[in-house]
Amino acid sequence: MTEAPSPAGGEEGDLSRIATWPNAVTVVRLALIPVYVWLLFGTSHYVAAGFLLGTLGATDWVDGFLARRLGQVTTLGKVLDPVADRVLVVTAVFTVAIYGAVPWWFAGLTVARELAVSITVLVLASMGAARIDVLWVGKAGTFALMTAYPWFLITDGPAEWQVVLRVITWGIGIVGLVLAWVALFSYVAPAREALAKGREGRRL
């Protein structure tokens, strides 16, 4: 797919910009996380909280898409976007577990996988490893989990439709968790190659 041309003004090359549409989207997503927490624990609208959480998770691609499409890739955006994603994931896992819509063993396995990935990335970066492409199995696992957690909330009730959808949600959640852990171990070989390439690049 061909990249869209940069708009006039050379916005793509100005990495120091702050006021951009992608950064605005990321800030809005971050600002809505406390609203989600308030809806869940401060009101009785847990279904609305679930839908808001799902919306925040489903829009995690918007800021990155806008940055590339509008030529507004910035240094702030490169930092803010992954931070927003991690904050959302951690908030979703812990709040849904605290609310009681998902058992702690499931939440614990989700967080443990996230921690393992984060620590691995930091260690590889400190050792000078080359960039590792994201595996499709990891993307699929993350997508399934971020689909399941909001629906754990939405289906946490006695209504017939909630009972039926909760069974489906558990299926999606289990598949997502399995894929996420499979992806973690699938990164072992690429990590070794990236580390070797990084060391080779430093010698050249």
pLDDT digits (tens, 9 = 90+) for 95-111: 999 999 999 999 999 99
**Which has more confidence, 120 or 3?**
120
Interval 149-165: pLDDT, tens: 999 999 999 999 999 99
Tokens of 119: 């620590």
At residue 202, the pLDDT reads 65
Tokens 């490893």 found at:
129
- Label residue 8 by pLDDT band (50, 70, 90): very low
Residues 113, 183: contact at Cβ < 8 Å? no
The three-class DSSP label of residue 37 is: helix
| Residue ranges of domains in the chain | 1-99, 101-204
- Residue 91: other Cβ atoms inside 10 A: 17
pTM of the model: 0.82
Residues 35-57, mean pLDDT to the nearest whole number: 96
What value does the mean pLDDT take over residues 167-186? 95
CA 47 to chain centre: 21
Q: How many CB atoms lie within 10 A of CB 117?
A: 16
Mean pLDDT (whole number) for 84-101: 93
Say what the pLDDT of residue 1 is: 37
Residue 12 has pLDDT above 60, yes or no: no
Q: Please determine, for residue 35, whether its predicted confidence score (pLDDT) is greater than 90.
A: yes
The answer to whether the Cα torsion of 156, 159, 165, 167 is positive or negative is positive
Q: What is the dihedral of CA 113, 116, 118, 123, to 10 degrees?
A: -160
4: which residues sit within 8 A by CB, 6+ positions away?
A: 68, 69, 71
Average pLDDT, the chain: 85
